[in-house]
Amino acid sequence: MSAIWDLFGKGGPVMWPILAASLLALTVAIERSFALRRSKVIPLATVRQVQGLLAGGRIREAAEVCRHDGGPFARIVFAGLEWWEQGSEAVREAIEDAGRREAPVLMRWLGVIGTVASVSPLMGLLGTVLGMIKVFRTISLEGPGQGQGLSAGIAEALITTAFGLAVAIPALVVFNMLSSRAERLILDIEEACHGVLRELAHSPGDRSTVSAAVPAAADGME
């Protein structure tokens, strides 16, 4: 650990922005890793339970399940159930609108990781330029024979480049992995919502009893 800090100190002032960017990317990656768990976004038990209740015409119970779950899939389905008494087309439009709102939520903050992956090599390049400026300044002031001054500038140039790449490469990998996971979850939610719509189309539920149940559940969602 002491050797790493020693290199960090030799890297010059640009090392601090690179460190801050790496910590920011790490924080977002950890948060998104937990937020994009399938068991949280689209739990299989909830999907099956809601579809089963809708198939039996138990719309009120399905709304309660969605209210208690509170995940992205449940919020989308709940938005559709609010319009159940207006007909299947209204339900479909409500689900599509809710889905469009939830998709950016799943992709939230991923751009931060992508930005860190893009900016870190540039900050490393900036450190390289500053290190080479220091080298040429030493040569101009003290002559080319000052090995210690020259080596300090060259070390700063190389270390910042290395640390910038060391941050950018994992950040790019994590960004691609989390983006792919979010896209798969969005597709899975869409498929599950299509299943819900099919069950609703054949549901024998009484529309008059749903309108009273759904607003009550909506209060719990807010």
**Under 8 Å between Cβ of 104 and 72:** no
Per-residue model confidence (pLDDT) at position 1: 60
How many CB atoms neighbour CB 7 within 10 A?
15
**What number of helices (H) and strands (E) belong to the chain?**
10, 0
The 10 Å CB-count burial string (b at 16+, else e) for 106-135 is: bbeebebbbebbebbbebbbbbbebbeebb
d(CA 28, CA 110) in angstroms, rounded, equals 7
**pLDDT tens by residue, the chain, 222 residues:** 677 777 788 888 899 999 999 999 999 999 999 999 999 999 999 999 998 898 888 888 988 899 898 899 999 999 998 888 887 788 889 999 999 999 999 999 999 999 999 999 999 999 999 888 888 777 777 766 555 667 777 888 899 999 999 999 999 999 999 999 999 999 999 999 988 888 887 766 544 434 433 333 334 333
